[in-house]
Amino acid sequence: MPTPASRHPEDMITGVILAGGRGTRMGGVDKGLQLYDGKALVWHVAKRLAPQVDHLLINANRSEAEYASFGYPVLADHITGFAGPLAGLHAALAAAQTTLVLTAPCDSPRLPLDLVNRLHRALQSANANLAIASAGGRLHPVFCLCRSSLLGQLQAYLEGGGRKVAAWCADMGAVEVDFSDQSEAFGNFNTLADLAKS
């Protein structure tokens, strides 16, 4: 199984944890900083994602100092107004020095440990521009591996008012990668009640 150290330079990957939302369904709190098993959600995501990528960033639009304390560069959306996950991907594509960018949400602390390898393998096999996760017949397009060359198309989509991740991925010809063998890895927390029950 390829590791970041063994990847060809042209296949280096920048990972970005998407923590730039309003946290509306959590009452407006900063979701990535909420505690799960005694540590911030973003800490759990970073622990699982960092070993899979060559560089890791955190996309956040508030609490920048708190996010920076986890030891990774913090990147705000370029498009203002909390424009959603695609705005985080857009900022990462603009900042990344690698040819590939991987996104994962801050509220899925059990994400697959082979997420990057499987998405990368599918991207290469299909010669696609995007690879997204699916499990149990459900798409998880925020778990996305994207070629940096799509920055222009994404910017045009956002400037045109587009916000739907799945729609943009479909427009870009995304290949879907089945993770039904570990569907539970994509479980996330949308409310404080969900976290309290965990």
Torsional sign, CA 145, 147, 141, 123 = negative
CATH number at residue 56: 3.90.550.10
pLDDT of 35 > 80? The answer is: yes
Domain assignment of residue 173, yes or no: yes
Count of domains for the chain: 1
Confidence of residue 79 (pLDDT cuts 50, 70, 90): confident
The pLDDT, as a whole number, for residue 194 is 67
Domain assignment of residue 117, yes or no: yes
Name which of 40-44, 83-87, 116-120, 150-154 the model is least confident about: 83-87
Name which of 25-29, 85-89, 104-108, 123-127 the model is least confident about: 25-29
Torsional sign, CA 93, 120, 21, 40 = negative
Tell me the C-alpha distance between 145 and 162, whole Å.
19
Instruction: Determine the structural domain holding residue 18 and report its residue range.
Output: 8-197
| Residue 121: partners with Cβ closer than 8 Å, 6 or more residues away | none
The pLDDT, as a whole number, for residue 1 is 47
Domain assignment of residue 30, yes or no: yes
Domain assignment of residue 93, yes or no: yes
pTM over 0.75: yes
Region label for 163, one of left (φ > 0), alpha (ψ between -120 and 50) or beta (otherwise): alpha
The pLDDT, as a whole number, for residue 52 is 97
Domain assignment of residue 114, yes or no: yes
Name which of 117-131, 160-174, 177-191 the model is least confident about: 177-191
DSSP symbol at 3 = -
DSSP for 108-132, please give it. -TT--TTHHHHHHHHHHHHT-SEEE
Domain assignment of residue 83, yes or no: yes
pLDDT of 190 > 50? The answer is: yes
Mean pLDDT of the chain: 90
Domain assignment of residue 52, yes or no: yes
Domain assignment of residue 3, yes or no: no
